[in-house]
Amino acid sequence: MKPITTNIIFGDSKEKLREIPDNSVDLIITSPPYADSRVNTYGGIKPDKYVEWFLPISSEMLRVLKPTGTFVLNIKEKVVDGERHTYVIELILALRKQGWFWTEEFVWHKKNSFPGKWPNRFRDSWERLLQFNKTKTFNMYQEEVMVPMGDWAKSRLKKLSETDLIRDESKVSSGFGKRIANWVNREKAYPNNVLHLATECGNKNHSAVFPEALPEWFIKLFTKDGDTVLDPFLGSGTTSRVAKRLGRNSIGIEVLKEYYDNAVENINNKNDISSLVVEMRQPV
C-alpha cells in the first residue's frame, strides 16, 4: 500500500489554497462558517456578504479539483428578521455562474436536534449537503454506500404480481420505470439522498463539529484508496481524521490557531494504523 499524507495547514483558505496544484484533489467536503451565526467563536460573515466572501475561495476550489472530482458543501441558511435569508440560494446561482454544475442536494437529517419552541417555526432538524461538480461525468462508487434491504423487502418481495415481473413504466411518462423482481434475493439496495445522522456530541473543543459518519459517507462514495480529500474549513479536523482512517490523502486548512492546534491533536490522537506517513505543516 502506498503511504498516505495528512497535511494540516494553518492559515486562510483564500491564500493557502493557492499552494495546491491544479486538478489534484478528488473530493472537497466542507462546512464553512455559517453566516453571522457564530460570531462569538470564529467570526461570522454577514449574510449579505456571504456570496462575495465565498466566491474567491470556491474559484480556487474549482482550480484544484480534478475534472472527475466532487465538491460537497454543508450549509444552511439562517433566519434573519423573521425569514430565511436567501444567501444559500444566491450562492448556488453564483457557483453555477462560476462554472460549477449543481449536481445534487443531499439532506442531513439531524436525528438528535435540540428541542425548542419558537412562535413562528419548528425546530431546525436538517441541513443541506450540496453537491457540485466540474463536469457531468465524475467518479462515484455507489456500491460502497449500499444499505441493507430492510424488512419491507421480505413482505413486498414474497409474492410478486404480474407487473412486478416486467418493467413497469411510469404512469406519468416521466421516463422512470422499475422491475420489482430485480430485487429478489438481494441483500443490499442503493441508499436515498437523505442522511440520518446524529450531531456530534463528543467534546472536540469546537462548537460546530460534524459527525464522522458524514465525511465518511461521501469519502466512500466519491473516492477510492490513495485519492485526495480537501477540507478548506477544517475546524476540529473531522474530515482529515476520517480520510486518514480510510486510507485517503488529505489536506485541511484552518485559520484559527487554537482550532488548528486542536485539529492536529485530534488527528494524531486517534489510534489509527492506516496512515503510514503523517506530514504536518507548522504554523507560520
The contact set with ligand SAM (CB under 6 A) reads: 12-14, 31-33, 42, 206, 208-210, 232-233, 235-236, 238, 253-256, 259
Name the residue type at position 189.
A
The closest residue (CB) to ligand SAM is: 235
> Is the Cβ of residue 15 or residue 104 nearer to ligand SAM in the bound state?
15
> Is the Cβ of residue 42 or residue 102 nearer to ligand SAM in the bound state?
42
Q: How far is the CB of 235 from ligand SAM (least distance, A)?
A: 3
> Is the Cβ of residue 217 or residue 259 nearer to ligand SAM in the bound state?
259
Q: How far is the CB of 18 from ligand SAM (least distance, A)?
A: 12
Q: How far is the CB of 281 from ligand SAM (least distance, A)?
A: 13
Q: How far is the CB of 251 from ligand SAM (least distance, A)?
A: 12
**Ramachandran angles phi, psi of 193, nearest 5°:** -100, 25
> Is the Cβ of residue 85 or residue 156 nearer to ligand SAM in the bound state?
85
Three-class SS of 60-126: HHHHHEEEEEEEEEEECCCEECCEECCHHHHHHHHHHHHCCEEEEEEEEEECCCCCCCCCCCCCCCE
Q: How far is the CB of 261 from ligand SAM (least distance, A)?
A: 12
> Is the Cβ of residue 20 or residue 253 nearer to ligand SAM in the bound state?
253
> Is the Cβ of residue 168 or residue 261 nearer to ligand SAM in the bound state?
261
Q: How far is the CB of 194 from ligand SAM (least distance, A)?
A: 20
Instruction: Give the dihedral sign, CA 92/97/99/101.
Output: positive
Residue 36, by phi and psi: left (phi above 0), alpha (psi -120 to 50) or beta?
left
> Is the Cβ of residue 15 or residue 169 nearer to ligand SAM in the bound state?
15
Total count of residues recorded for the chain:
284
Please tell me the distance from the alpha carbon of residue 274 to that of residue 276, in angstroms, as a whole number.
6
Residue 89, beta-bridge partner list: none
> How distant, in Å, are the alpha carbons of 42, 209, 216, 274 from that of 251?
20, 17, 15, 16
Segments in the chain forming alpha helices (H): 13-16, 50-64, 87-98, 151-156, 162-165, 213-222, 238-245, 257-269
Q: How far is the CB of 230 from ligand SAM (least distance, A)?
A: 12
Q: How far is the CB of 237 from ligand SAM (least distance, A)?
A: 6
C-alpha cell at 225: 484508496
> Is the Cβ of residue 12 or residue 225 nearer to ligand SAM in the bound state?
12
How many other CB atoms are there within 10 angstroms of residue 263's CB atom? 29
Give yes or no for a contact between 5 and 229, defined as CB atoms under 8 angstroms apart. no
